Structures are given as C-alpha cells and as structure tokens.
Copies of this chain bind each other. A is one copy, B any other.
Amino acid sequence: MAGKKIKTLSELGEFELIRKLTDDIILRHPGSRKGIGDDSAVIDHNGFLTLVTTDLLLEGIHFDLTYVPLKHLGYKSVIVNLSDIYAMNGIPLQITVSIGISSKLSLGAIEEFYKGIKLACNQYDIDLIGGDTSASLNGLTISVTALGTAQSQQIVYRKGAKTGDLICVTGDLGGAYMGLLLLERENRFFKADHGYKPQLDGYQYILERQLKPEARKDLGRTLMGNQVKPTAMIDISDGLSSELMHICEASGTGSRIFADRIPIHPETKKLAGHLLISPVVAALNGGEDYEILFTISPEDYSRVQAMEGITVIGIMTEKTEGHLMELADKSTIIMEAQGWNANQRWAGL
C-alpha cells in the first residue's frame, strides 16, 4: 500500500486493516505456534495443542433483532466460532461468552439468548467456562471465544496447498446469503405494511442456513476414518471466493474452479431465480455458510469422491495463473477478491 493515501477504513477493507495493524507483531513465546492469519491460533504446551478463535457479533452489523430470534442468535454465536476450530481439523471443547446488553432487552430475552448458547453447547459437546456481562448503551454486543484441541500431526493450516491439489467443499453454498435476502425482503414489506404476512413457505432450508447454521463437526472424523489429511483448510464464513484466495495466498498458488461443480441447493437456486441473482455469485460472494473449503492431494481423489456431501470443485494451479472460474462453455472469468464481509460489514465506515 506504500505511497497510496488511505482516507477511510472502508476503503482499506477488513483484511488490509488487520494487516496494517498486525504486520509488526512478533511472537515471543515458543508456545505461540501460530498467531494471526489462520482460522484459529495454535498454542503448544509440550506437544499438546490448544486452538483459540474469537468472533465479535454486533447488532446492526451482523444481525438485525427485528427478524432474528434471540435463541437462534445465541446458537449461531457459538457455531461461527466452533466452525473456526473445525477448519483447523481440531475439536472444540470450551467457549467463553461476553455480552453487552442494551436496555431494550428484557431478562426473558437474555435468557432466550442463553438457551441458544446452551443448546449449541449440548449439540457440540462444549463447556461454557467463562465470559463477561455488561450493560451496553448501543445495541447488543456479543463476543465469543472458542478453545479446542488437535493432535500436532492432524492440524491443517491454510498454507499447505500445492499446485495440482484438488479443491473440495462440504455441503452446499450460497444458501445462508439467499436466506438473508429473503428475510430482508420480507422485513421491508412488513415495515411498509404491518398487516403484511411474511411469505416464507418453501424456503425452510435457506432460512435455517441463515438463522440456525451448523458447523461441520463430522468432517474431521470422516476424513480421518478415510485416512485423508487435507493439505489446506478454511471455513467458508465470507464466501467461497474470498476463502479460496486466503488459501491461495497462504499457500502461494493460483486456483481454477468449475462453476457448474459448485454445490447449490434447489431452494438457493429457486430464490436466486426470483430475485434475478446468479446462484453462483451467491455461492462465491455470499457468506455465512460455515461449510469447509479444503484441498487434497490428487492421490486422495477416489477416497474423497466416495464421501457423502463433499464435492470436488476445482484444482490448485501455479500462482502466476491467478484465480479463474471456468464456465460451462469452457470460457473463464477472473475471480475477484472481495468477500461478502468486506462489502456488507464495512459499509458503515
């Protein structure tokens, strides 16, 4: 960025800001094995690894309480953190939850939020071990930190992908974003006419993807059971395009994905059709799917092919080849780095 004058934080974007703020950070303790720059940090205690990740969820930026039930919000606040531990091929064990509570929330509302937190803890076998609670003058503030563990030889970073490795994703993509668009549309209609009854029928799946996402708890076990260790891994919180570029940047590669191989749910396609949006664009730039993007060595191809719910969508290329998406007619388009997060969540700055 040398020589370029930065005027506002939104011009800079989240990733550049983090780089600017943390570029000069050195790690002093040998136990701090991995710092900023992956899904989780890694702390080494004599070979026993602790994974640490944290996410901030702010009212008006990450959620809108007019249509997000508090119990779902509590659940999701946990899930987004667990996902970062699974994305290192680790097992989450503990969380801390801090909340800043605005005066418009009742005790009952906060209890609903905690019901969601506790439900996620039950489902994912997590201990809630601490946190902080405060009043907030300015909307609900949520900060969750997750701790997990992994064996040293099992851990997967963003940086291990090689040219020729295959690019895989779990589940399907773009659904959470289409769920958000649906909720926002119905909320607009409702605001304009309070007699309006929201039309959500037929979109159960994408609404759940947005409101009550799940983290890929099963993936680590499936991979291990099939003796596959990914070469690189990341969770898809900001859209496929931006996550793939994180892996490529960390690994020093380019990438080529095939548009018609990207897994997309029928409900995602249906709503995208109604809204005149390309479902592939929703998968590339939409966020919050919390699926896992990973790369494997080509020799693991047949084993991964046999696993349910995993799709091979492309191949890692030389860095000089850049980031390409091949369409059905074999033409290619250059992928852009901008994730959904950068567009949406920084709009306020």
Contact = CB atoms under 8 A, between A and B. Distances in A.
A53 B96 CA distance: 8
Contact of A98 (B54, B103, B105, B118): B54
B345 A128 contact: no
Interface string A66-107: 000000000000000000000000000110101111110111
A135 B53 contact: no
A128 B25 contact: yes
Contact of A133 (B17, B53, B141): B17
A18 B111 CA distance: 10
B130 A40 contact: yes
Interface extent on A, as a size class?
Answer: 35 or more
Contact of A29 (B18, B28, B94, B111): B94
Contacts of A346: 135
Contact of A41 (B43, B45, B94, B100): B94
A192 interface: no
Contact of A48 (B25, B36, B45): B45
A134 interface: yes
Contact of A54 (B58, B131, B135): B131
Nearest to A99: B56
Nearest to A22: B128
A58 B133 CA distance: 11
A101 B46 CA distance: 37
A184 interface: no
A180 interface: no
A193 interface: no
A321 interface: no
Contacts of A332: none
Contact of A36 (B41, B59, B131, B138): B131
Interface in A113-127: 114, 118, 125-127
A349 interface: yes
A61 interface: yes
Nearest to A131: B54
Contacts of A141: 56, 58, 100, 141, 143
Given A9-B107, A25-B128, 5 more contacts: A28-B127, A52-B94, A52-B129, A56-B99, A96-B145
